[in-house]
Amino acid sequence: MVALSTGSNASGPVVRLDRFAYAYPGMTDWVLREISLSIGPGQCHLVQGPTGAGKSTLLLAIRGLLPPGRQSGTLAIHTGSDAASAGSGVGLVRQNPKTQLLCTSLGAEVAFGLENHRVAPSEMPDRVRAALAEVGLRRSLNHSVDALSMGQQYRACIAGLLVMEPVLVMLDEPMAQLDPKGRREVLAIIRRLKRSGRAVLICDHRPKPIQTVVDRFWCLDASGRLSETGPPAHGRPVMNLAAPGAGGRPATEGSEVPVVRVNDLRLALGPNGLNLSGISFCARHGERIAVYGPNGAGKTTLIRALAGLVAPLDGTLTVLGAPPRPSRLRGRLAILFQDPRKQMFETTVFDEVAFAARRNGTPEDEIDSKVNDLLDCLGLTGLLHASPHQLSYGQTHLVGLAAVLAGDPEILLLDDPFAGLDKKCARLVVSAVSRQAEAHGTTVVWTSHEAGGLDPWVDRTITLPDPADRRAERDEPVSVRQPPHRSKARYRLGTGIMLAVCVSLSMLAFAARSGIFLVALTAVNLLLTLVFCPQPLRLLRKGAVLFLWQTALVVLLYGIRFGFPQGIASGVQVAGQLFMAFWPGLIFMSANTQSRIVRTLGRFLPSRIAFVAATCLRFLPLLLGEMQQIREAQVFRGARILTGDLKSPRYWPDWLYCLMVPTLIKTLSLSADIAMAATARDFGIHPKRTAWPGD
């Protein structure tokens, strides 16, 4: 039985679970077993436990977001009458803020829950400003959420809950992706929430950074049972993962040629004009180097530069004796990004791990022993035939590591490999990578925002400066720039009229049968771009690059199919048609905000469908970025999906299995995360919604 009370209960607990148990649909084992827990107003409780124990499931159960499965016991929520009128009374922020920011501007994002509850637009700005003040986020309501730092994005997610006046705020792994500054900001918010009388429930596997604000500590074990514990012992380091025999060694000096040589490197850090400069170091065979720095310092950019995925602005960079290029480093260098789930495409763990070994020439009779040895080292022996898409986060991360180690790379780049992992999983990562470095002389470079966390394990450390310090050196204020669509365009056309014009142009592109017609369409689209888009030259540059890549690909495929030079003319025409059909959509999205698109589509579509359509457009750049990262990671595992690989038809299946399949899986995962974020803020509880008055 699950009970939901919305009556006033100021003196009693906000949430109470009594012997609550839950099992997912179709599963025989309980995920949560006999959970008993109560949280009163102004209290903060922490639930810790290993990765995959069911901490996130517990939060979803309290928020009412679990699918209907088997359950027993009691789960009662007392929201109070005032909170119930403003929202569900329970707010949940999950681990990754990027997939929870559903709108482009800060004001619209925080007001999303108010729109769902049909709050009058005239009331929204004051309530939004009050919520932003409560989380200490002082930005214009038109500020782009994509221009915020990771910590600021997390605070924006919390503000989106507070505007609905919840009595219980739940945070899932709030410290996992934040640097020390971001953690301090979140801790300050938790203190303010407690002072205001709100209850707070946190799930995290590391209690140390949070213990100063926690009133009661709980542990959820691997069997799904909850027991109360005390605070962690004082005096221990936040993360001490150095495994036995994994200590650092003095760096090799002298005659050995460095595997990586970086001299006075300067890299661009996004569109805000900041640079990462003055980076110089050498790495030799078997050396292990840690790169520390806060969020936004350029750690991932440096990793991508070492792999040849980012061109430096200045300085020299050589990897294995030459400037880095993916085509040359394929099979010799491996990357493990923060979320290895996006790299998975095989149906079993064995095949996932064996892929790189096969592509890098390991004899077939040795693959079984190699895969089994890696899985045994990482504690995954029993998962040989399991699907890599149905594992816990920690297990998936370990499978991803095994998959890149199986290729025996000379250089291993790990981008924040311990984010979201408990100590057990993190120690397994350290042990496996240490063994690889010692047995094969693999050079390891890993990044982390937790300075000093693994000093005993590495040979040397590099600390990148805080981007805020670089702004101060340039005497620049913290950026409060507007999103691109808020820059002034020369003229403004009604969103509905522009939608009709752009749809018509796209349809005409498919009807074009002559070069003259395509030239005329190009001229019209160029005129629309220059007149109505706020940053026309930037959009034209991106469009030109896209057109050249698309044309080269289509012409190559037509040439292979129909022969050269017969296929060239047809390929160019088809490429032009496809681009002219796609280009009006870019113009429309560039010239209009998400809020204007929702309002326009809402005139002839149900409000929920209009919002879903606009949200798809909002997350399209994120999905394209994910697809690019998938491609980069797969190339270094041995996948033949570089542009030059298209020349050989025998590599074409790689584009399907190694790129399109993971992209499809990521799309479905992203869709599920977005739907969860929208539902958690009461999207769809009314047939119609009100609209944020800004933008």
CA distance 73 to 38: 14
Q: Which two tokens stand for residue 429?
A: 């990562």
For all residues of the chain together, what is the average pLDDT?
83
CA atoms within 13 A on the CB side of 606: 7
Give percent of the chain with pLDDT exceeding 70.
Answer: 88
- The one-character DSSP state at 30 is -
Quick check: 158 and 8 in contact, CB under 8 A? no
Among 124, 123, 96, 122, residue whose Cα is nearest residue 112: 124
Residues 23-50: what's their mean pLDDT? 92
Residues 100-112: what's their mean pLDDT? 92
Going along the chain from its start, the domains and CATH numbers come out as 3-229 (3.40.50.300), 260-473 (3.40.50.300), 488-680 (no CATH)
Residue-wise pLDDT for 230-253, tens only, equals 777 654 444 444 444 444 444 444
Instruction: Inform me whether the pLDDT recorded for 481 exceeds 50.
Output: no
Question: Of 11-20, 190-199, 591-600, which gets the smallest average pLDDT?
Answer: 591-600
pLDDT of residue 487: 46
Chain-centroid distance of CA 527 in Å reads 36
pLDDT of residue 135: 92
Q: pLDDT grade, residue 198 (50/70/90)? A: very high
* Amino acid present at 24: Y
pLDDT of residue 20: 95
Determine how many CB atoms are found less than 10 A away from the CB of residue 487: 12
Dihedral (CA of 389, 393, 397, 402) sign: negative
CA distance 78 to 49: 26
Q: Which two tokens stand for residue 287?
A: 């050396």
CA distance 499 to 494: 9
Quick check: 502 and 585 in contact, CB under 8 A? yes
Instruction: Inform me whether the pLDDT recorded for 572 exceeds 70.
Output: yes
Among 213, 268, 263, residue whose Cα is nearest residue 45: 213
Residues 541-564: what's their mean pLDDT? 76
CA distance 296 to 397: 23
Question: Of 33-47, 283-297, 316-330, which gets the smallest average pLDDT?
Answer: 283-297
CA distance 145 to 142: 9
| Residue 416: C-alpha distances to residues 8, 277, 337, 578 (Å) | 45, 21, 7, 39
Residue-wise pLDDT for 210-222, tens only, equals 889 999 999 999 8
CA atoms within 13 A on the CB side of 555: 13
Instruction: Inform me whether the pLDDT recorded for 695 exceeds 70.
Output: no
Residue-wise pLDDT for 611-624, tens only, equals 777 787 778 778 88
The CA-to-CA distance between both ends of the chain, in Å, stands at 45
- The one-character DSSP state at 231 is P
CA atoms within 13 A on the CB side of 695: 26
pLDDT of residue 454: 66
Instruction: Inform me whether the pLDDT recorded for 280 exceeds 50.
Output: yes
List strands edge to edge, sheet with 411-414.
Answer: 333-336, 411-414, 443-448, 288-292, 460-463
* Amino acid present at 562: F
Residues 525-544: what's their mean pLDDT? 84
Residues 92-115: what's their mean pLDDT? 92
pLDDT of residue 479: 36
Residues 26-48: what's their mean pLDDT? 93
pLDDT of residue 248: 47
CA distance 67 to 584: 40
CA distance 273 to 270: 7
pLDDT of residue 546: 76
The phi and psi torsions of 24 (rounded to 5 degrees) equal -65, 155
Determine how many CB atoms are found less than 10 A away from the CB of residue 149: 20
CA distance 70 to 670: 26
pLDDT of residue 547: 81
Cα angle 184, 188, 189 (rounded to 5 degrees) comes to: 120
Long-range contact list for 25-34, CB < 8 A, 24+ apart?
25/67, 25/68, 25/69, 26/69, 27/69, 30/70, 30/224, 31/57, 31/224, 32/57, 32/58, 32/61, 32/224, 32/226, 33/223, 33/224, 33/225, 34/73, 34/225
Q: Where are the alpha helices (DSSP H) in 124-174?
A: 124-134, 150-162
The pTM for the full model equals: 0.80
Cβ burial 110-144 (10 Å sphere, 16+ → b, else e): bbbbbbbbebeeeebbebbbebbebbebebebbbb
Quick check: 530 and 536 in contact, CB under 8 A? yes
Instruction: Inform me whether the pLDDT recorded for 14 exceeds 60.
Output: yes
Quick check: 490 and 531 in contact, CB under 8 A? yes
* Amino acid present at 123: E
Quick check: 573 and 580 in contact, CB under 8 A? no
pLDDT of residue 418: 83
Question: Of 186-190, 326-330, 667-671, which gets the smallest average pLDDT?
Answer: 667-671
Chain-centroid distance of CA 693 in Å reads 29
Identify any residues that bridge with 44 across adjacent strands, giving them in sequence order. Answer: 200
Quick check: 127 and 100 in contact, CB under 8 A? no
CA distance 43 to 595: 37
Q: Which two tokens stand for residue 158?
A: 């919390």
CA distance 261 to 238: 32
pLDDT of residue 177: 78
Taking the CA atoms of residue 430, residue 432, residue 434 and residue 438 in that order, the dihedral angle to the nearest 10 degrees is: 180
pLDDT of residue 684: 86
CA distance 364 to 580: 48
Question: Of 25-34, 256-265, 557-566, 668-677, which gets the smallest average pLDDT?
Answer: 557-566
Q: pLDDT grade, residue 81 (50/70/90)? A: very low
Residue-wise pLDDT for 65-75, tens only, equals 999 989 999 99
Residues 434-459: what's their mean pLDDT? 83
* Amino acid present at 532: F
Q: Which two tokens stand for residue 342?
A: 């996006």
- The one-character DSSP state at 483 is P
Q: pLDDT grade, residue 122 (50/70/90)? A: very high
Q: Which two tokens stand for residue 498?
A: 């522009």
pLDDT of residue 233: 63
Give percent of the chain with pLDDT exceeding 90.
Answer: 35
More confident residue, 541 or 349: 349
The H-or-E segment that residue 319 falls in is: strand 314-319
pLDDT of residue 287: 92
